[in-house]
Amino acid sequence: MKRLTIFSTLVALLCIASTLFHTESAYARRGDKNFLDSTSATIPMADSLFGDAFLGPEAISVAYGVSIDSITVPPIPYTIGELKFFRRLGYILVFQIDSIDGKPLTMQRQIETYQKCSAYTEKLSFTIDSQKENFFVSEVPQAGWRLVSGTVIPGSTGQDYMLQTALLQTYPEDYRIPGYTANNTTVFADAMQKADSCLKRNKKIRKSTGNQYDTTGLQQAAKLLATMQTNISYRETAVEVCYRIILFHAMHQESLFLDEYVWTNSLSSDNKFVGVGSFFVATSQKYRNNGKTEVEVLVKKDYPNTCGPVRGTTFVYPPVRTMK
């Protein structure tokens, strides 16, 4: 079956989104009045409002063994109205730092530091697809406060990276998020058309050793999708998803994204997108009582045309990233 053209795909997604988000969007619209409360949010206010979904300086201290007094914390850039709105949608408020003691807080350092400092490190293990990639040894979280969906957004699982991108483009409008300014739709459609053309150039090459694929088209599509403002603005990076998993586990001894797989905007050296998920290693009571690892965090990379039943994307509410 031929792949849908990009324009028919976008139209189909708009129809699907209307159905998928009807109930939750209506719920969100009923909370619009919350935005009338323009009171600046303080850390105690946010902590009280979000409860377990608040990952602030204390979580950083518990996870990485640093003194709270040594952490420079800027004001929360959201109003009480915004926080109430997104709390009702199940979002998490997280304070991200990009370094500790002047050294970059890469994924590698996050894991190493957590394993040294946490009393629960045996309950959380990590399997990394490649430990020489920039997403592991170089990338750091974008410093500052972030409102991020607590789970992958509805409708994003079972879709390839391109269809998830189309879903992200319409997500703020579907949820009637006040203050949202749409990314340029003409630029978006043009970029999607180019990415779709690259995917269509992915051809199978038969060799004596078996069936192999020319991945040039897939790699070109990935590079185009990675530079789209929609993905830069609204997707997390791999190091940021790992950061949230670690902070949440440090505070609650539970894992975010359990049996979910978050496809990020981090690109590997071979132009595959990096995903981060967490899965039970074993569920028997005996296994847990022995203090063995309960949850494995899996970091792997895939081409943008792949999809899976538990692979979705999260949504980051502005302040957004900008193109570099």
Q: At 127, which amino acid appears?
A: T
Task: Note whether residue 324 is domain-resident.
Answer: no
Cα gap 273→267, rounded to integer Å:
5
Residue 161: the pLDDT is 96
Ranges of the chain whose pLDDT falls below 50: 1-4, 7, 11, 14-31, 204-209, 283-284, 286-289, 320-324
pLDDT tens per residue, range 86-104? 999 999 999 999 999 999 9
Cα gap 237→231, rounded to integer Å:
10
Task: Note whether residue 1 is domain-resident.
Answer: no
Cα gap 80→194, rounded to integer Å:
41
Quote the number of domains for the chain.
1
**Residue 225 sits in which domain range?**
6-317
The rounded mean pLDDT for the chain is 82
Task: Note whether residue 153 is domain-resident.
Answer: yes
Residue 131: the pLDDT is 84
Task: Note whether residue 79 is domain-resident.
Answer: yes
Residue 121: the pLDDT is 65
Task: Note whether residue 220 is domain-resident.
Answer: yes
Strands 260-267 and 273-280: antiparallel
Task: Note whether residue 212 is domain-resident.
Answer: yes
Task: Note whether residue 91 is domain-resident.
Answer: yes
H/E stretch holding 244: helix 238-252
Residue 206: the pLDDT is 44
141-143-148-153 Cα dihedral, nearest 10 degrees: -30
Cβ–Cβ < 8 Å for 319, 144: yes
Residue 105: the pLDDT is 97
Residue 263: the pLDDT is 96
pLDDT tens per residue, range 166-188? 999 999 888 877 666 667 788 88
Beta bridge partners of 37: none
Residue 208: the pLDDT is 43
Task: Note whether residue 155 is domain-resident.
Answer: yes
Beta bridge partners of 146: 94
